Amino acid sequence: MTDAVGETALWTLYHRSLAARDPECGLADPKAVELVEALDYPFAQRFGTDNRGWARGMAVRARCYDREVRAFLARHPRGTVVCLGEGLETQFWRVDNGTVRWLGVELPESAALRRRLLPDTDRCRTLTGCLLDERWTGEVDASDGVLVLAQGVLMYMAWDCVRALVEACAVRLPGAQLVFDTPPAWFAAGTVRGWFRYPAGYRPPPMSWGMTPARLRELRACPGVAAACARAALVRTLVRDPSALRTRPPPRPARRRPATPHPRGALMTTLPDEAEYSCVMPTNIAAIRALDKSGVFVREARLRHFAHIDGIWHDMLQYSVLEDDWRALRQNMPVRATCTPTAN
């Protein structure tokens, strides 16, 4: 895994293993911890050790995907889950119900590493191939329902390729659901400009796009796509299948976002359903004061040398508000502070 995008699989694995060791992250993933210990790779030197914010973000993302899989398996216990660009994700071991069939699609080098560490079984296997090459769809047993996941990978592809992938799924896997995540546009732009860097030198590779309403409309217009919706960073497309549509529950009312005005200068991003994150520079005293006074944001971490702006490295303070905190606030209950703020 020497290429930049392949290395991101080690990056996400490492953060999931950190999250799994942190009880506040709520991610039970002993297999990730096991893999990090088994791999001869300098995780701490490459990615650092002071990564609480990233680990939390990765845990939220993993939990969101787990929830999608569990909801799918409740309806299709023997269904097939396809993980595009699966890397060293250990989700199968987090959600296995004993009957699911699991198919990962990975590029040759990463597929070989995965198979070495996590050998194929009768229900869980890795296919070598490019996710943009629709031949993988021919390997999918669609008899009991199909859920396609693309966790942490489509942002590295050109948008036209992503749209073509959605079209291919719509044509070749009728009735399937595709779930993927995208960064906010500001974050994608930051990776292109090289803003984000770990003290040891690692930089996430450029992410070429973020979801926008116009792109969502493009997905909805793809032939065969029945519906496409974005819940914060998670996008779900439902491939056309009239019978599936008839039995779908009515859409949930949109979740209300916190009415707290985002302080000027704070970068705001959202993760699906569970948490809302805000990053602010330590020098932005007014924004920090507003976040501290909001009564709902909790300071999570100081992300050291997080952004490279105008030739200077800046730390960022990361705040979050969880959905439960927000509900509690609306019901005039005390907000549950879930972590200890770090010192400036």
Residues that bind ligand SAM (CB under 6 A): 5-6, 8-9, 12, 85-87, 89, 105-107, 110, 130-132, 151-153
Taking the complex as a whole, the smallest distance from the CB of residue 159 to ligand SAM amounts, in Å, to 14
Taking the complex as a whole, the smallest distance from the CB of residue 130 to ligand SAM amounts, in Å, to 4
Nearer to ligand SAM, 48 or 205 (CB): 205
- On whether the CB atoms of residues 267 and 212 are closer than 8 A, the answer is no
Residue of 136, 147, 173, 43 whose CA lies nearest to 91: 147
Taking the complex as a whole, the smallest distance from the CB of residue 310 to ligand SAM amounts, in Å, to 28
Taking the complex as a whole, the smallest distance from the CB of residue 164 to ligand SAM amounts, in Å, to 12
Taking the complex as a whole, the smallest distance from the CB of residue 278 to ligand SAM amounts, in Å, to 23
- On whether the CB atoms of residues 221 and 193 are closer than 8 A, the answer is no
Nearer to ligand SAM, 107 or 317 (CB): 107
Residue at token pair 């002993």: 30
Nearer to ligand SAM, 210 or 263 (CB): 210
Nearer to ligand SAM, 112 or 339 (CB): 112
Taking the complex as a whole, the smallest distance from the CB of residue 105 to ligand SAM amounts, in Å, to 6
Taking the complex as a whole, the smallest distance from the CB of residue 239 to ligand SAM amounts, in Å, to 20
Nearer to ligand SAM, 68 or 325 (CB): 68
For 33, 156, 162, the CA distances from 136, given in Å and listed in that order, are 30, 19, 15
Taking the complex as a whole, the smallest distance from the CB of residue 152 to ligand SAM amounts, in Å, to 4
How many CB atoms sit inside 10 A of residue 142's CB?
15
Nearer to ligand SAM, 6 or 206 (CB): 6
Nearer to ligand SAM, 104 or 263 (CB): 104
Nearer to ligand SAM, 192 or 337 (CB): 192
